[in-house]
Structure formats: C-alpha cells, structure tokens
Structure 1
Amino acid sequence: MQNDINKALEVLKDGGVILYPTDTIWGIGCDATNHEAVKRVYEIKKREDAKAMLVLMENPNLLNSYIDEVPEIAWDLIDTNDQPMTIIYPGAKNLASNLINSDGSIGIRITNEEFTQRLIKRFRKPIVSTSANESGCESPANFMEIDAEIIEAVDYVVTYRQEEMEKIKASSIIKIGLGGEFEILRM
C-alpha cells in the first residue's frame, strides 16, 4: 500500500489523474483544487462539467477550509453515520471552480478507508472522487469491471485492492441547507 500511496501522491502533486479504491466503489481522482486536473477528469468520463463530482477528505475538521459555513446538522450526520455518506454542502470555497456546482454547493465525503485516508492526509488537500466509468454507463462494482479505456486514460492505477471481488455500493447522498433542511438524494 505504501508504494501505491507514494506513486499516487507524486501524480496528484504533478496535476495528474489517478484510478484508486475508495470506501465505496473505485474512483477517478485528482487534486480538487487544480482546475486543469478536474477538467481532465471530466474529459476522461466524457462528461459535461455542469455535472458535479464529489471530493473526499480524511478529517471532518477540514470542512471549514472548503465550506463557508458548515450547517449544524452536518456534524450530527457525520457523528452518527457508520456507512459511507456524501453530504452536499452550500457555500463551497477554495476548490477548483469547475468542481463547484452552479448553485455554489459541493459534495464531500469523509472517508474511513485506510488507503484514501493515508493518501489524503499526506496530500493535505481534498481529492476528487467520481465513479470509474464513462458518464451514463453503470458504475463498476469492483476493479475487474472498469473499462480498459478508463484505465488507459489515467496517469496512475493503484494496485492496492484490485483483486477484491466484493460488490460495493455507492455512498448515500444527502443535500443540506444552512437552516437545517435536508434532502435524501440516494440511500
């Protein structure tokens, strides 16, 4: 795992794109603060940049660096949830502009998976995480289901956890507002 972290870190620092395991499905990722890297992820996915992607962080204490005001309900959701959950927050900041939704929001998931936690902690910035498939195609449940075109398009493919065949589902998605309102988009 450490070798993969070191290589992925080099690629991320150079503005490259990685294919990596997450706490849910395999993801295509890059530096969430790098406009050009984010643009490349959209190109690999053949996706218009009006369709948002989420970012991973390893520590909820970093939310204030990327969200204007973290709604109180977010802390409750983070503290009580034991499954991967993406929260869409209003007021995104300090991220690549082409990553932020047109309404100013951004989806963020705090990862509890060892590889992504260690990688993000060493990188010291959030990492984009979007499913490893072309836009409109079904998300791969494991590494073996990832299309060869996606694998060839990225700058580095993590070897850690490639052999796992377990089918893992995507995270739940909850959109929250400053007033405590929320909407469940996917369970």
Structure 2
Amino acid sequence: MRILAKEEINAEKNALIESILDGAVFIYPTDTIYGLGCNALKSEAVNKIRNLKERTKNPFSVIAPSKQWIYNNCILSEEATEWVEKLPGPYTLILKIKKNAVAKEVNPGLGTLGIRIPAHWFGSFVAELEVPIITTSVNKSGEDFMTSLEDLDEGIKSSVDFIVYEGEKKGKPSKIIDLGNKLKITER
C-alpha cells in the first residue's frame, strides 16, 4: 500500500489509471470526506470493497466521469436533468439507470444508482478514467468514517492498493437527492 499526494498522482497518472481500470481498490479525497473506491465495472473489486466494509446488501454510489456519462447511462426526468446540471457539488443524486451502467454488485437488484461528481480536483482525475468509480465512506459499516490516516481502520488500510491523501478532512457526507421516483432530500 502506498500513500500518494496530489503531485504524485499527476506524476504517475498513466500507471494509476491503468491500475484502477484493472481493478485496484483505493482511498481518495473528495469535496466532502474520504472515499473508498474502485472501477465500478469490475465485479471482483466491488466485492472486495463490500467485504472490507462488511456491507452485505446496501447499494454503493459512484462518482461519474462526466455529466455526459450520466446522460448516456441514466433515465432522466426534467427535474433530474436540472439536478445533474448543478453538478459538480456535494450531492449524491439517486437516478434511474440503464442496464449494465455498472457491475451488478454495485446496486444489487435495483433500478437506481447514487451518482456524484465532486467539486474537487479528484473529480477531474475520475473524468480521465472515463469509467465510474465506487464512492463510499472509508469505514466498516456502522463505524465512524475516516477523517485522517490516524483513524483509518488497519484492516482497510492494509487491503487497499494505494491512498491519495491530502490531510485531515472535517467534512460531512454528501446530501442525498433521491430522484428515482419522487423527490426526497436526505441530509447525512
């Protein structure tokens, strides 16, 4: 496991992109809190995150590589389109998705998916991947989420391929905007 700063991400960009596309599991910063992620099209990597979090059934959200990816992979109402246009930002939009937008292990049995584009430099890195990545808090289910390396669960730390670290984060998780059926906003 390696700990990388933003500058190192830029210097090793091509190798890291290849690693993520191949199924690396990693920790990264966002505009809210640190996320635990992988290529959302790689079933094996998604299952590894599910096991690390000890999370059996709950769906994961993704960071979309672009608004265009959302338009291509989601079924959007007029209201949903208005919310997509507000991205990037501290929102997770629950949207109806088309089949095969992500690995089936991301959102088992659901026709909706939580989607973000963070207002953070790491969102631009995801855009270069051109695939969605899992975005979930860095913790075992039911425990406090990571704010710094000091409170990172050792089991998770030893199981990830790399960590993109930019110091302590005191944010809170993104606001959930459920546009799957009827508008519902949830503060976390």
Q: TM-score of the superposition, structure 2-length normalised?
A: 0.85
Q: Which residue of 2 aligns with 1:126?
A: 132
Kindly report the root-mean-square deviation, in angstroms, between the aligned alpha carbons of the 2 structures: 2.1
In 1, the alpha carbon distance for the partners of 2:49 and 2:18 equals 17
In 2, the alpha carbon distance for the partners of 1:81 and 1:17 equals 25
Deviation at 1:33? 0.9
Deviation at 1:21? 1.0
The aligned runs of 1:1-187 (5 Å cut-off) are 1=6, 2-3=10-11, 5-48=13-56, 50-67=57-74, 69-80=75-86, 83-93=89-99, 94-118=101-125, 120-159=126-165, 161=166, 163=167, 165-177=168-180, 181-186=182-187
Which secondary structure state, in structure 1, belongs to the residue aligned with residue 111 of structure 2?
A: coil
Structure 2 unaligned blocks of 5 or more: 1-5
Which secondary structure state, in structure 2, belongs to the residue aligned with residue 12 of structure 1?
A: helix
8 A Cα contact 1:172 1:185, kept in partner = yes
Letter in 1 for 2:66: N
Deviation at 1:157? 1.6
Letter in 2 for 1:29: G
8 A Cα contact 2:41 2:103, kept in partner = yes
Q: Which residue of 1 aligns with 2:3?
A: none
Give the 3 Å change call, closer, same or farther, for CA 10–171 of structure 1 in structure 2.
same
Letter in 2 for 1:169: K
Deviation at 1:76? 1.7
In 2, the alpha carbon distance for the partners of 1:32 and 1:92 equals 14
Identity of aligned residues (%): 30
Letter in 2 for 1:85: Y
Count of residues paired in the alignment: 179
In 1, the alpha carbon distance for the partners of 2:20 and 2:86 equals 31
In 1, the alpha carbon distance for the partners of 2:94 and 2:180 equals 9
Letter in 1 for 2:174: S
Deviation at 1:125? 0.4
Give the 3 Å change call, closer, same or farther, for CA 16–43 of structure 1 in structure 2.
same
8 A Cα contact 1:56 1:126, kept in partner = yes
In 2, the alpha carbon distance for the partners of 1:54 and 1:169 equals 16
- Per-residue CA deviations over 1:122-149 (Å, capped at 9, x if unaligned) read 2110111111111111112344322222
Q: TM-score of the superposition, structure 1-length normalised?
A: 0.85
